[in-house]
């Protein structure tokens, strides 16, 4: 699993509440990514980071923000969760060209 952990692994929340998902890596990788996976869409890039405090938007960034204050942690925040953000969220790191994924967080927004 390339030393990647995600927390929480499951979360149920209500529409309008803020939610923060955490990705933690132990191997000092520079690049980190957040994807969401939905049936019929595969995986889609939300945001990525290329260093501490360096982040950029992906394909589906609306409604999400990220922060990276330490190399090992990459946080994904839903400021005001909506039902359309119900999904499985995967964090990934990049090692040279290869990307390795964490175990995922299943988020349900009621």
Nearer to another protein by C-beta: 8 or 103? 103
The vertex-73 CA angle with 36 and 52, nearest 5°, equals: 105
- Of the residues 1, 14, 27, 79, which one makes contact with another protein according to CB under 8 A: 1
Exposure string over 31-45, b if 16+ CB within 10 A, otherwise e: ebbbbbeeeeeeeeb
User: What is the strand order of the sheet 4-7 is part of?
Assistant: 4-7, 19-25, 73-78, 64-70
Binding status of residue 68 toward another protein by CB under 8 A: no
How many residues make contact with another protein (CB under 8 A)? 25
Q: Which two tokens stand for residue 51?
A: 């260093």
- Asked if 100 touches another protein (CB under 8 A), the answer is yes
For another protein, the binding residue among 50, 82, 83, 84 (CB under 8 A) is: 50
Positions touching another protein (CB under 8 A) are 1, 31, 33, 35, 40-45, 48, 50, 56, 58-59, 90, 92, 97-104
């Amino acid at each position: 699993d390339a030393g990647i952990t995600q927390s929480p692994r499951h979360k149920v929340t209500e529409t309008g509440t803020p939610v923060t998902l955490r990705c933690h890596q132990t191997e000092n990788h520079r690049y980190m990514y957040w994807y969401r996976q939905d049936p019929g869409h595969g995986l889609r890039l939300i945001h990525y980071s290329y260093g501490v405090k360096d982040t950029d938007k992906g394909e589906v960034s609306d409604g999400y923000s990220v922060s990276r204050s330490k190399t090992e942690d990459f946080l994904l925040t839903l400021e005001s969760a909506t039902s359309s953000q119900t999904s499985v969220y995967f964090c990934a790191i990049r090692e040279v060209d290869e990307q390795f994924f964490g175990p995922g967080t299943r988020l349900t927004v009621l």
